[in-house]
Amino acid sequence: MSLEYLGESKSGQRSPKPLVDTKHSHNNGKEVNFLVLGKHSVGKTALTVRYLTKRFIGDYNSEQEMLYSHCTVLDGKHVTLHIIDTRGQDKLEDVSEDQVRWADSVIVVFAINDKDSFELARSIVEYIHNVRENTNIPVGLVANKSDLIDRNDVSDTELTRFCAEFNLYFFETSASEARHSVIEVFTVLARQVRIMIKKREKLTRFMSNPAVAAKLQIQQSFRNLAERAWRSRTSTL
Ligand SMILES: Nc1nc2c(ncn2[C@@H]2O[C@H](COP(=O)(O)OP(=O)(O)OP(=O)(O)O)[C@@H](O)[C@H]2O)c(=O)[nH]1
């Protein structure tokens, strides 16, 4: 495993200067961009650091936004994960649209003992959905601090409905007590990103095949002819 710290930003504006080039290059899924969002103190840094270093420190610097680059092996293939651990949002306006566009996958975190953090997570998910409407990216909803189970403030029904509505990958994690739950978040989402990229590439190859393009064109011409015939028939009636 190699871990490389690439940069930091103290900006908390809606569209801070991106830490990385926000133009997308997929490299056949060899690189995956993760964006970690959520209200202050829900455990974004704890989750990210736990995943990268195996450690739970307990006290983190919340002033800085960090970008990490991490090489790992996923399903037998080398993959580099770029992870932006954001500073934490107080309101939706603190989310950077540039970063949402940069991401191949977004991890939206809330803490189970903080109902407000769930409400903000809800708004963030809706925002991602609007910004990325044409590109279906895997979005993970992470209920962190699951070790504080007796202080759970968010109902299962509410969660199930929300996840179904937005097609979210749901995870319950405890950065402090269960590293395996944290690994699962990054592994499942990175795998989904790779699957989606492969599907998109396959479709692009299929569509760029001249025989397929010609067939589609012929089908479209028939459709246009049929539509014209139908229109002229209905206008004479
Ligand atoms: N009990 C418990 N505490 C946690 C867990 N994860 C994080 N914490 C604690 O929650 C507090 C906030 O954690 P951070 O990782 O700094 O949260 P953050 O979302 O990065 O916060 P900002 O950077 O301010 O946005 C710290 O005191 C952590 O020790 C967890 O799974 N369980």
What is the whole-number distance in angstroms between the Cα of residue 58 and the centre of ligand 1? Answer: 7
Question: What is the tens place of the pLDDT at every residue in 177-204?
Answer: 999 999 999 999 999 999 998 888 888 8
Give the closest residue (by CA) to ligand 1 atom 29.
Answer: 58
Question: What is the tens place of the pLDDT at every residue in 147-165?
Answer: 998 888 899 999 999 999 9
What is the whole-number distance in angstroms between the Cα of residue 174 and the centre of ligand 1? Answer: 10
Give the closest residue (by CA) to ligand 1 atom 8.
Answer: 43
Q: Which two tokens stand for residue 83?
A: 């992870």
Which of 141, 132, 123, 183 shows the shortest CA–CA distance to 24?
A: 132
Ligand 1, residues at Cβ distance < 6 Å: 38, 40-46, 58, 60, 62, 87-88, 144-145, 147-148, 174-176
pLDDT band at 174, cuts 50/70/90?
A: very high
Point out the least confidently predicted range of 79-88, 93-102, 146-155, 208-217.
208-217
| pLDDT exceeds cutoff 60 at 168 | yes
- From 60, 91, 174, mutation site for ligand 1 pocket: most ligand atoms within 8 A of C-beta: 60
Question: What is the tens place of the pLDDT at every residue in 9-32?
Answer: 444 333 334 445 555 555 677 899
For tokens 């930003």, name the residue.
Answer: 9
What is the whole-number distance in angstroms between the Cα of residue 89 and the centre of ligand 1? Answer: 14
pLDDT at 92: 93
Which of 153, 162, 27 shows the shortest CA–CA distance to 82?
A: 27
Give the closest residue (by CA) to ligand 1 atom 13.
Answer: 43
Nearest-angstrom CA–CA distance, 81 and 71: 6
What architecture (CATH level 2) is domain 2-205?
Answer: 3-Layer(aba) Sandwich (3.40)
ipTM exceeds 0.85, yes or no? yes
| pLDDT exceeds cutoff 80 at 113 | yes
Q: What is the pTM of this model?
A: 0.82
| pLDDT exceeds cutoff 90 at 47 | yes
| pLDDT exceeds cutoff 50 at 220 | yes
Give the CA distances from residue 106 to residues 35, 37, 92, 158, 191, in Å, rounded to whole numbers and listed in that order: 5, 7, 15, 20, 13
pLDDT band at 52, cuts 50/70/90?
A: very high
Highest average pLDDT, of 15-19, 75-79, 214-218, comes from 75-79
- Pick the more confident residue, 58 or 141: 141
What is the whole-number distance in angstroms between the Cα of residue 154 and the centre of ligand 1? Answer: 18
- From 37, 41, 145, mutation site for ligand 1 pocket: most ligand atoms within 8 A of C-beta: 41
Give the CA distances from residue 232 to residues 140, 220, 222, 225, 235, in Å, rounded to whole numbers and listed in that order: 51, 18, 15, 11, 5
Nearest-angstrom CA–CA distance, 97 and 21: 13
| pLDDT exceeds cutoff 90 at 63 | no
pLDDT at 69: 95
